[in-house]
Amino acid sequence: KAIELRRDSTGADRDARAAGATVGIDTELTSLVHFNFDIGFIANSFEDPRFEDDVDLIFAGEVIWYATGFTTVKARAARRDVSTSLEGASSKTQTNAGVEVQHELRRNVLLGAELNFINDDFRDIDRVDNRGIAGVSAEYLINNYASLVANYRYEQRWSDQENQDFNRNIVTLGLRGRF
């Protein structure tokens, strides 16, 4: 695929050609455990000579455990190549792992919790960012087409670059529609 991005303030051109392939498996290990996993590679060829062409390992996997008739646990891990607009970087390798629990408290009340860790390793510059995310959610199903949702999410970033660390609390309330 062709990737076309605007030049940054240094004049760097991140336009690139990318090609890759993955193979995978998607199976039901037992009636209570579902598993899928893909692994492959991606090759990037950048137009700007400041950026090195590269080949990178990519993967994604998920295990879903139906712990009870009302509780589902999902564990996920992935590594992928991601475009970035960070000055001087051609792209980044993003590796993440997380777990999510969903529980049906009542037929019309759903609760959730998540924990995630994300590592961003930027190419062509010396920078690595790590993020931790924790969140909880609740959803009240009004009918088959609408629900009220509430989410709280805490996110913290640790960077090896000075003055790039942050933390934030995000609260969202909303009305969700379904067709």
Q: Could you list the pLDDT tens digit for every one of the 179 residues in the chain?
A: 555 555 666 667 777 788 899 999 999 999 999 999 999 999 988 887 788 888 889 999 999 999 999 999 999 999 998 888 788 888 899 999 999 999 999 999 999 999 999 999 998 899 999 999 999 999 999 999 999 999 999 999 999 999 999 999 999 999 999 98
CA gap 167, 40 in Å, rounded? 33
CA distances from 58 to 41, 79, 140, 156, 157 (A): 5, 5, 37, 25, 23
Six token digits for residue 149: 């949702």
- Report the residue count for the chain: 179
Nearest to 112 by CA among 132, 139, 76, 133: 139
The H or E element spanning position 160 is none
pLDDT in tens, 46-72: 887 788 888 889 999 999 999 999 999
pLDDT in tens, 134-155: 999 999 999 999 999 999 999 9
